Amino acid sequence: MEIKLLTADEVLPIRHQVLWPDKPESFCRVEGDEQALHYGALVNERLVCVASVYLDGKTARLRKFATLEDYQGQGIGTKMLEHTITSVRALGIDYYWCDARVSAQDFYKKFGLVVEGEAFNKSGVCYFKMSVDWSEKRV
């Protein structure tokens, strides 16, 4: 497996197929896509997992993290999240967060993210804001 930087256009088909297949592909574009860091995991040269990170000062937001169904449960998403965390830490990011689907809450907890606030709905899906704050842990 290889993880590399991609363009917003390259990650869009996986976002659409996995996250919002019942919506138009344009629904999967978000403000800031042109400036974000888009990561793709390739298995045998096939793009199977994507994650986008939006930077704002010392804050990074993970959005549109998706793995093709046939490749889920194989550790690809774990390696992708580890890669994005390592990348943003190298950039000096202090606060990393995402809106996590309730069904993925336990996955994010394994990486030190904690739930902030109450559950909320976006487009009919229930989420929690989850984050990790490294600023207090810096030496």
| Per-residue tens of pLDDT for the chain, all 139 residues | 999 999 999 999 999 999 989 999 999 999 999 999 999 999 999 999 999 999 999 999 999 999 999 999 999 999 999 999 999 999 999 999 999 989 899 999 999 999 999 999 988 889 999 999 998 654 4
Pairwise CA distance, residues 54 & 63, whole Å: 8
Contact 115, 89 (CB under 8 A): no
Domains of the chain, first to last: 2-98 (3.40.630.30)
Q: Look up the pTM and report it.
A: 0.90
pLDDT of 124: 86
pLDDT of 52: 98
Pairwise CA distance, residues 71 & 24, whole Å: 23
